[in-house]
Structure 1
Amino acid sequence: MISFEKYTLSNGLTVILHTDNTSPLLALNLIYKVGSRNEHPERTGLAHLLEHVMFEGTNKIPHYNEALQGVGGENNAYTNTDITNYYLSVPAQHLETALMLEADRMTNLAFIPEKFNIQRDVVIEEFKQRYLTHPFNDISLLLKPLCYKKHPYRWNTIGMDIRHIAETSLDEAKVFYTTYYCPDNAILSLAGNLDIEQSKALIEKYFGNIPKGNIRPSVLPKEPLQKESRWLEVERDVPCDMLIIAFHGSKRSEKDYYPTQLISHLLSNGDSSILQENLTQKKKIFTHMETSLTETFDRGLFIINGIPANGISLQTAEEAVWTELEQLKNKRIKSKQLEKIKNKTLTLWYFSEINIQTKARLLGVFEAMDKAERIQKEEQLYQNVDKDNIKEVSRKLFRKTNSSTIYYKAKN
């Protein structure tokens, strides 16, 4: 259970405070409710590019990292489909410095052409290194547009095409910044060794006078319900074949997320999981298998991927996966299996509540997704999942007409 206090400044900034006096540090997260979902289809990658530019200094403080490191702080950031999160940790006595730095770059970011061009080149190189150089790394570039036809989730956070990044201008980045980087589109969460009243006073001092933005709710294209199986075959210079099957699932905030997460663990978490035991160990159809969820604010994906054993065709491998999925849909799992997976999942959740950085992040993310109070219900929502829920959600998920499959083939 993570206790916290939440309130809103007059300019719309949401503030969440959690006290943990067991640590000499405090963690700060500043989440802007903007991600790749908010980009124009011809300027994909802009949210991530702006994240890079945010570390290039302001008109007042030209060297953000030096200022933070000077008081013993560490920082980083990430952009995903739904949010951009700037996070740091500092010795508790330097809270004021941390707040001053974040408030300053919310309003005074210095868009210096030379620095902007450098960061744009860095992101282009990151795109090449991450997706075009290493084996299998372009899978997400192929899978997302196969699964999504209308929704902005059809492109990766780093961008759909290098051209989009290369053609982004300084002025376009400025417009994106002034549109989305404002207090009424942000969530400030603090966790650690803090005095609540002092923290409130400092937050008001540095953020209270920042004017509201002109933010309007984004109206995103609604993804049509998938009604047919989709399939793609590609050849690449890779050492082995890979099978990828993706299914449209639930939003992270929906009730179905919890059985879906447990289904993922049932299928591939540990040697005794269904796919590992049956297809990797016993039948030796695969040498490696895993499942994952994208955990997005709108409907995400449930993804299965595996590397077939030598001599096993991708078609045979795919048929074997579907056999196991049909078994899961039509046979009740054992109570012991479900309890084991719940215990594993909740153990990971309990560990996440120990770390102040993770607590600050979770409070901010849950608030951005829905509301921070949801965090108190996570354990019970997992505990409430029963065998009938597993069967019901499996039947929703694992349908041929809800599947997108890639045969990722090694060149002969």
Structure 2
Amino acid sequence: MITFEKFKLDNGLIVILHEDESTPLATVNILYKVGSRNEDPGKTGFAHLFEHLMFGGSKHVSDYDIPIQESGGDNNAFTNNDITNFYNVLPGENLETALWLEADRMLYLNIDQKALDVQKKVVLEEFNETSINLPYGNLWHVLSDTAYKKHPYRWPTIGMKKEHIANAGLEDVADFFQENYNPNNAILVITGRQDIETTRNLVNKWFGEIPQGPEVVHNISTEPDQQGLRKRLLSDDVPADAIYMAFHMPGRLHKDFAAVDLLSDILSGGRSSRFYKKLLKGTTVFSNIQAYVTGTMDPGLFVIEAKLMDNATVDEARVLIWNELELLIMEKEEEHELQKVKNGLISSISFSEVSVINKAINLAYFEMLGDASMINRQEEEYNQVTTDDIQRVAKQIFRKENCSEVIYLKKEEELSLKV
């Protein structure tokens, strides 16, 4: 059980405090409720760009890293479809340094042409390295665009096109910042070594006077039900042929999310999983195969990805994968096998929450979803899943008309071969 105090400042900032005397460290984590799903389709990649811009300096801080490092700490950030998250871990007696830094960039971020040009260059280089030059690097551009036709999950966090970042103007990014990076669109979580009353006063000192921003309203398009199998075939400079299958699945708050999450572990959660025993070790077709869920706030994707051995064909790989999916639909999972998967997943969750960083990030995330106390109901959520639930969600998800398939073939092969 993770105990915490929660309150809201007059400017709308939600604050969560969790004291942990077992560690000398504290984590100051701030989550902004903006990710790639909140972007304009013609100006994508802005949330990720701001992850970089937020380290470019503010009114009273020219280099964000130096004060944190001089305080004996470290910091980092990440952006995904739904959120942008910044975290600082440092000795508990120095947590005020992190509060000062986070407040300063929330109120006084340095957004000028020089800073923008520097970070645009960094992001464009990252785009090249991860999405263009890397084998299979364009996967999420292709797979997202194939699976989604209306919802903004149809582009990856780094952006739909390089041009959207290259053409981003100062006024564009300033507007995006003013709309999204405000106390009323943020959740501040502090975990670890602290005195709660002292921390409460420090939060008020540094954040209490920051003005509330405009009300944030995003009209997110609902993705219509997929009506038929979608396929994309790519000939690319990749080391091995590969097949990716993406099935639409419920969002994180749906009652069936836990069952679908467990389903992915049944298929590929370690050496006792179905894919490992029957496909990876039981055939000579696959060099790697795994299944996972995107876990997004809105309805996401259940993804199966497989790399093939040189002598294997995409056609036989596809048949073998569908055979395993159809077995889950036709035959109920054994109770003891499901319990084993539950135990592994729950242990993983429990172990991860020993870390003050993970506790801070997860408390912020669950509060963004609507209730930070959900962090204490995860075990119950998974334990309530039955073998009937597993079979039911498998039937709902693993349908050809619900599948988007992306195939990579090595460039020297003709597209007509191995399919």
**Superposed CA offset, 1:37-68 (max 9, x none):** 11111110011111111111112222221122
Query: Which letter maps to 2:172?
Result: E
- Quick check: 1:131–1:138 contact (8 Å CA) kept in 2? yes
What percent of counterpart residues are identical? 41
Contact 1:253 1:370 in 2 (8 A): no
- Residue-by-residue CA offset, 1:201-228 (whole Å, 9 max, x unaligned): 1101111111111123211111111111
Residue 269 of structure 1: how far off its partner (Å): 1.5
Using the alignment, how far apart are the partners of 1:18 and 1:166 within structure 2? Answer: 41
Residue aligning to 1:198: 198
Q: Which residues of 2 match residues 163-242 of structure 1 at below 5 A?
A: 163-242=163-242
Counterpart-to-counterpart distance in 2, 1:63 and 1:409 = 45
Q: Which TM-score applies when normalising by structure 1?
A: 0.98
Query: What are the within-5 Å matches in structure 2 for residues 26-175 of structure 1?
Result: 26-175=26-175
Match of 2:415 in 1: none
SS of the aligned residue for 2:377 comes to: helix
Question: In the aligned structure 1, how far is the partner of 2:249 from the partner of 2:196?
Answer: 40
1: CA distance between counterparts of 2:369 and 2:3?
A: 18
SS state at 1:40 partner: coil
Secondary structure of the residue aligned to 1:198 is helix
Which residue matches 2:302? 302
Distance between the aligned counterparts of 2:379 and 2:168, measured in 1? 44
CA distance in 1, matches of 2:249, 2:370: 18
State the 1:283 CA deviation. Answer: 2.8
- Confirm or deny: 8 A CA contact 1:180 1:215 kept in the other structure: no
How much does 1:112 deviate?
2.7
Q: CA deviation at 1:110?
A: 1.3
Matched residue, 2:271: 271
Q: Does 1:372 align with 2:372?
A: yes
Counterpart-to-counterpart distance in 2, 1:97 and 1:176: 27
SS in 2 for 1:282: coil
Deviation at 1:75, TM superposition (A): 0.5
Cα shift at 1:12: 0.6
CA distance in 2, matches of 1:148, 1:122: 28
Amino acid at match of 1:215: E
**Contact 2:147–2:154 (CA under 8 A) maintained in structure 1:** yes
Which amino acid letter does the alignment assign opposite residue 26 of structure 1?
A
Displacement of 1:114: 1.5
Distance in 2, matches of 1:366 and 1:352, equals: 15
Q: CA deviation at 1:94?
A: 1.1
Matched, 1:312 2:321: no
- Give the letter aligned to residue 169 of structure 1: G
**Cα drift, residue 285 of structure 1:** 2.5
5 Å-filtered alignment, 1:253-402, equals: 253-402=253-402
**Aligned-pair distance for 1:293?**
0.9
Counterpart Cα distance in 2 of 1:78 and 1:307: 28
Give the CA deviation at 1:411. Answer: 1.9
- Aligned pair count? 412
Query: Secondary structure at the residue paired with 1:235?
Result: strand
- CA deviations 1:300-341 (Å, max 9, x no partner) are 100001122332211111111111101101101111211110
